[in-house]
Chain A
């Protein structure tokens, strides 16, 4: 039995736990990685971070991502999930619209494609001169978009990047919500219908409250993805975008560590990122709790 537990534990301790502990220490040093000298500097790195304009910009970008991306993804995924499960005709069995399975298969597919490839595909779609998007827009008469650099303009770089992350996530969360909705007993929908509740009323007062926990979980998952966002941003704008509009903490961290060799400082960014992620999860739990998540599993009147 000792082998059963010991072997996995050694790997876990060596490659996960030990680096975490080291990270906490390194973040309080001026370590440059390759030199042996390392001075303990306390919270200096964190003070420096609080005044580092580029880092603060990256933090703002990540927070923007963590608000917009989950919100849009969840609303769209919920809408699709409701339509394909219970959005069908208002008489007969409770069911979704026709062709529901096909829509689900199509929209889930991007989940299986590597994120870096998704980023590369969209970087080409957004290409100013030869891209698909500008091609479609100019063909349909909007000649103003000829050579428009979606990822190169301060105004559009962030929304365009957000769209790609949303595009890639909707399918997965649709499947999650479909499964959750299928777990709701059909009788609840039947009685709501007898009481004269329409589709929107049913969705808002029955479906959403009943799968509240799943929505919360989804929000945290996508939020964590958005606080990272490394792969997508690296594929579309590896330099951080125009005026750093799409720079993320993760990108800045890697540059600081492996390009500039400021390992102590970079580790402090890693710790900050971890703290922000944790705070985000706590915030989501708290909001859910305060807005009535306490009486989850009870249908709202």
Chain B
């Protein structure tokens, strides 16, 4: 690690050296121009949505650049109550919260057993999990619909939660497996010699030791589940149980007729804002997780 390339430069040193090399300056200026241009292309659509969310539908259709005549939160109120974004938001919190908790718990247990114990069929289970990681959900969407229908969980939040757990499980097991394997065996042995049961050894010793791995996987699962769209669209068609992504899509297609663009933009802002806050708080950790997750 000590020899790795450093990203940050020392400002004073840079300033002094820059004047010495015309080629460097040219490359640096070009890079900055292109990167700034790209940043603008990334940021401006979000800012435009924010601006439009305060405009009336009339103003939005009038000109894309005009400022709202009155800075009011009417659109937000309309989106939250009339369009049901508030309700979808709470559904999403329940579904994502419950499935995240379950998948982390079950995934950790499964990965732990697969990583620490030898038994017949271990490789088969691990490999089928690995295969589950690559199957497109579209392959199973139709049978899945009828599985849920037959056990009476179609169009219900518990049904959606169980499905989320099942489809986040392979990823969770795959990455936690690597973490549990890297934990030292002797700590576990010491615990069992001291008389800890299997359950206790797992929950009070092995699980806390896998903490950093759990955190990375949890962040990815959170984003993946929060953004999930296909599963709810196919398996959760009762409007009262809509999750946020699904509600947004249906709201947008309704807006095509009743044309409440102002509320649509407000709904987009309300969906993006929580993610933006979480992102700005965790962005270091998230970037680190991407790196760790892929290169371990």
Q: Which residues of A contact B (CB under 8 A)?
A: 1, 3-5, 7-9, 11-12, 14-20, 22-23, 26, 33, 80, 83-101, 103-117, 120-125, 129-132, 134-135, 139, 167, 170-172, 175-176, 178-187, 189, 199, 214, 217, 224, 227-228, 230-231, 234-235, 238, 249-250, 253-254, 257-258, 263, 266-267, 269-271, 273-274, 277-278, 281
Quick check: is B23 within 8 A (CB to CB) of the other chain? Answer: yes
8 contacts across the A-B interface (CB closer than 8 A): A1-B198, A8-B173, A84-B7, A97-B31, A116-B245, A130-B62, A214-B295, A281-B134
In Å, the complex CA distance between A10 and B35 comes to 49
In Å, the complex CA distance between A178 and B288 comes to 10
Q: Which DSSP category, helix, strand, loop or mixed, fits chain A's interface?
A: helix
Query: CB within 8 Å of A: which of B181-201?
Result: 198
Given the contacts A11-B166, A130-B60, A214-B294, A114 and B271 also touching, CB distance less than 8 Å = yes
User: Of the candidates B60, B136, B167, which one forms a contact with A273 in the assembled complex, judged by CB atoms under 8 Å apart?
Assistant: B136
Contacts of A7 on B, CB cut-off 8 Å? 106, 109
Total contacting residues, chain B, CB less than 8 A: 103
Minimum CB distance partner of A275 in chain B: B139
Given the contacts A112-B275, A129-B61, A17 and B136 also touching, CB distance less than 8 Å = no
The answer to whether B42 touches A89, judged by C-beta atoms less than 8 angstroms apart, is no
Contacts of A17 on B, CB cut-off 8 Å? 128, 132
Minimum CB distance partner of A110 in chain B: B42
Given the contacts A110-B42, A121-B268, A16 and B140 also touching, CB distance less than 8 Å = yes
The 10 closest A-B pairs by CB, nearest first: A179-B291, A15-B166, A135-B64, A19-B140, A22-B143, A19-B143, A8-B110, A8-B106, A4-B109, A114-B227
User: Of the candidates B14, B110, B144, B227, which one forms a contact with A5 in the assembled complex, judged by CB atoms under 8 Å apart?
Assistant: B110
The answer to whether A94 touches B276, judged by C-beta atoms less than 8 angstroms apart, is no
Given A16-B170, A22-B147: 6 more A-B contacts, CB < 8 Å: A15-B165, A18-B143, A97-B31, A123-B252, A234-B229, A277-B136
